[in-house]
Amino acid sequence: MATGNQSEPALCSDGSGGAILSWSDPRGSDGNIYAQRVTAGGTAAWTTDGVAVCSASGSQASSTCTADGLGGALISWEDTRSIWYADIYAQRVSSTGSMLWASNGVAVLAAELPQSSAASVSDGAGGGIFVAEDYHGTASFDLYCQRVERYGQLGQPEPSITGVKDVKNDQGGFVKVSWSASYLDAEPVFGIAEYRLWRSVPAALAQQQALARGMTEDADAAARDGSLLVLPAAAQDYAWELAASQVADALSNYSLVATTMSDSVPSSFPRTVFMVEARSSTSISADRWYSAPDSGYSVDNLAPSAPAPLTGQYAAGQTRLHWNPNTEADLAGYRLYRGTSALFLPSPATFVADLPDTGYADAAGAPYVYKLRAVDAHGNESPVATLIPSGTLGVDDFAAPRAFLSLASANPSRGANTTLRFGLASAGRANLALYDASGRRVRTLVGGTLEAGEHSARWDGRDDGGHEVAAGLYFAKLEAGGNARTVRIVRAK
């Protein structure tokens, strides 16, 4: 060991069977902080007699050592470089013995009066949270804490995703990702140049793409050549591809529209995970901060048009039906229903068949009323086209004698969605809203002018603010043409 007395050792694991230790060392002045890594085999891995963590003027003592979760260590100490009273400084040391924060450490807690007895813990992302006793001019010590992120900045410079929401009134495939800016965004010296929006690639697909695209831990390389970004932090154990980028403009909030890996269907809501990177405007490529991942799913909000015209011919106990093909790109097929009155509701009880083509021969033995819906790949159903024995009706021609509202889903509902079906006797303004048991409106599903005929609306169990509602009794109320219809909905978790 070096000359002088080495004292106050602190120790933590290096995550590989070895250890990293720090100590107070007077070899250069009143007292400095040194550190050394010892491998699992007992060999000193860094410079002989250790590396200098802090050799500033004044006295440094009482070090602590905490694993940073990435093979290095977070070392803190009491430091009197600037005043008589001690402040708390800290340094992050890499697995190879390099200092990753400012030379001689970062002032973590540096109030006017003394701070002492520091302790720390990793924040799980390469940084740490530090706590110490702080006199602060009172009759006794209080405890104060501070976070230092992985690059040595105090607080939380990472951007924070505030929402991943479906883009409404589209054919699916898109979400709007919103985030709060890094507090360094408007900082004149150490500012943010741009934000990058990264989209996760499913594990099975990532394995296939890795051979063709390559994988890297360098975000700039991934953005430049299209390789997959893989970050070392456990909380971000994904393969990422660049979805979009946004120039920083000293704003408090940002948003971008991005494509998803898949769309939701009535029985499944596959989520796509996103992450936002804030990239520094300095020339140091390592200065970047990543948000915690968040996810959302896209919804196809547009139903197909009603099949038209629906025609039929009855003879010898068989009705031959025909209609023109729909032109929607995401069309999945058609659903045919049979009833004895123009007022019957399409339901499992009146269902005839799912049809891939534009014709059907129904050997029902007698003339019936038929209702036909087009269905897209994501479960959206069109308005109804109706055929009665006397001729052909399209959705624009059919008018039930009264408005109706019915619950198409199970009651109580236990899934993510509750489907409501309703009909209007004539075109006009309609309002369909959900109310809780106290009469408070929680969600408006429909509000506007609709054509006459049958319609449907889907409630995802959330209020107008996007928050999931509690289990309990709710009421759906349809107001149209001066009339009102109400049905009860029981939400079960």
**Residues 72 and 125: beta-carbon distance below 8 Å:** no
Is 384 a domain residue? Answer: yes
Residues 416 and 265: their CA atoms lie apart, in Å, by 11
Q: How many domains does the chain have?
A: 4
Measure Cα distances from 192 to 59, 202, 223 in Å: 36, 29, 17
Instruction: Please check whether residue 1 lies inside any domain of the structure.
Output: no
Specify whether 280 is located in the same domain as 312: no
Among 148, 182, 215, the domain boundary falls at 148
Q: Report the chain's mean pLDDT, rounded to a whole number.
A: 86
CATH code: domain of residue 291: 2.60.40
Domain end marker among 101, 117, 148: 148
In a domain, 154, yes or no: no
From CA 328, how far away is CA 3, in angstroms rounded?
82
How far is the C-alpha of 409 from the C-alpha of 387, rounded, in Å?
Answer: 25
Same domain, 19 and 144: yes
According to DSSP, residue 95 is labeled: T
- Check whether residue 379 and residue 433 sit in a common domain: no
Q: What is the pLDDT at residue 254?
A: 97
* pLDDT per position as a tens digit, 29-45: 678 999 999 999 999 99
Confidence band for 396, pLDDT divided at 50, 70 and 90: very low
37 shares a domain with 133: yes
pLDDT interval class at 28 (50, 70, 90): low
Among the listed ranges 186-190, 320-324, 330-334, which one has the minimum average pLDDT value? 186-190
pLDDT given for residue 190 in this prediction:
62
d(CA 429, CA 446): 10
Of 367, 396, 425, the residue at which a domain comes to its end is 396
Half-sphere exposure of 327 (CA within 13 A, CB side): 1
Instruction: Identify the residue whose tokens are 């006459």.
Output: 452
On whether residue 438 sits in a domain, the answer given is: yes
DSSP 327: -
Report the distance separating Cα 80 and Cα 62, nearest Å: 12
> For residue 80, what is the domain's CATH number?
2.120.10.10
Query: Would you give the distance in Å from CA 130 to the centre of its chain?
Result: 29
Task: List pLDDT tens digits, range 438-488.
Answer: 788 999 999 998 887 778 888 888 999 999 898 888 888 998 887 888 888
Identify whether 2 is part of a domain: no
d(CA 355, CA 375): 10
Examine the domain organization and report whether 459 and 388 are in the same domain: no
Residue 380 domain flag: yes
Residues 408 and 345 in one domain: no
- For residues 243 and 248, give the distance between their C-alpha atoms in angstroms, rounded to a whole number: 16
What range defines the domain where residue 312 resides?
303-396
Q: Is residue 391 part of a domain?
A: yes
Single-letter amino acid, residue 69: G
Lowest mean pLDDT among 80-84, 157-161, 262-266, 293-297: 262-266
Same domain, 132 and 239: no
Angle of CA points 59, 63, 67, to nearest 5°: 145
- Output the CA–CA distances (angstroms, integers) from residue 60 to 31, 89, 129, 157, 273, in the order listed: 5, 9, 20, 28, 45
Q: Determine phi and psi for 333, rounding to 5 degrees.
A: 155, -155
Question: 220: helix, coil or strand?
Answer: helix
CA–CA distance, 19 with 432 (Å, rounded to integer) = 65
